[in-house]
A and B are shown apart, each in its own frame.
Chain A
Amino acid sequence: SQTIHQWPATLVQPVGSPLSLECTVEGTSNPNLYWYRQAAGRGLQLLFYSVGIGQISSEVPQNLSASRPQDRQFILSSKKLLLSDSGFYLCAWTGRNNQPQHFGDGTRLSIL
């Protein structure tokens, strides 16, 4: 069966520091991959999605970037974090046949 892993589960970073969050999917090939941010436990905001290796689409211009170096790996990055980057970051995947998205357990990011 398919599983999705995100790490770390929680992260506390100072303003101006870099960021790297990782998401991997097992048990499937060529998935669509997504990064969402959720503020205050409500509302999912789509940040990036990818339909294949090296293919990244950005939904919201901001301080973050995404990369997909391997088929089942999706990375969310920042060179310099802002206070407003705090939130709950969720990775999700879906197959190719109109299947629902399945989410990881999320990363709680706090910026100090």
Chain B
Amino acid sequence: GQQLNQSPQSMFIQEGEDVSMNCTSSSIFNTWLWYKQDPGEGPVLLIALYKAGELTSNGRLTAQFGITRKDSFLNISASIPSDVGIYFCAGLPYSGAGSYQLTFGKGTKLSVIP
């Protein structure tokens, strides 16, 4: 099946620094999603991307849907301690299978040093 390669696996950054993470795939995706998961909770949707080349912001977060439809990145500017958590990318295949099954990356664990 399809796989998403998410990198980096983990990051340690100083508070105030910018963060960048990305996902790549060998196949085309129709939709890209970015989630954040806090410890002991379910993932929460941050940004949804529906068109190739789309650049969308949500506060300090910015995500882009790659032109090739095979990649996406998430940037966090001026990180703060509450940004700590695991960030997941997820993609919906171009075939748009009727069950709307997402493929998830393995996550990027972000640690922010005050």
CB of B40 closer than 8 Å to a CB of A: yes
Give B residues with C-beta under 8 Å from A.
Answer: 30-31, 33, 35, 37, 39-45, 48, 50, 86, 88, 90, 92, 96, 98-102, 104, 106-107, 109
In Å, the complex CA distance between A92 and B90 comes to: 14
A92–B44 Cα distance when bound, in Å, is: 11
Q: Is the CB of A104 within 8 A of B106?
A: no
Residue-wise, chain A 77-106 has the 8 Å CB interface mask toward B (1 for contact) of 000000000000010101000111111111
Interface size on A, residues (CB 8 A): 23
Determine which of B33, B45, B48, B101 lies in contact with A49 in the assembled complex, contact meaning CB atoms within 8 Å: B101
Instruction: Check B96–A98 contact: CB distance below 8 A.
Output: yes
A14-22, A40-48, A66-74 - interface stretch: A40-48
Interface presence of A51 (CB below 8 A): yes
Q: Which residues of A contact B107 (CB under 8 A)?
A: 42-43
How many Å lie between the Cα of A57 and that of B100 in the bound state?
Answer: 12
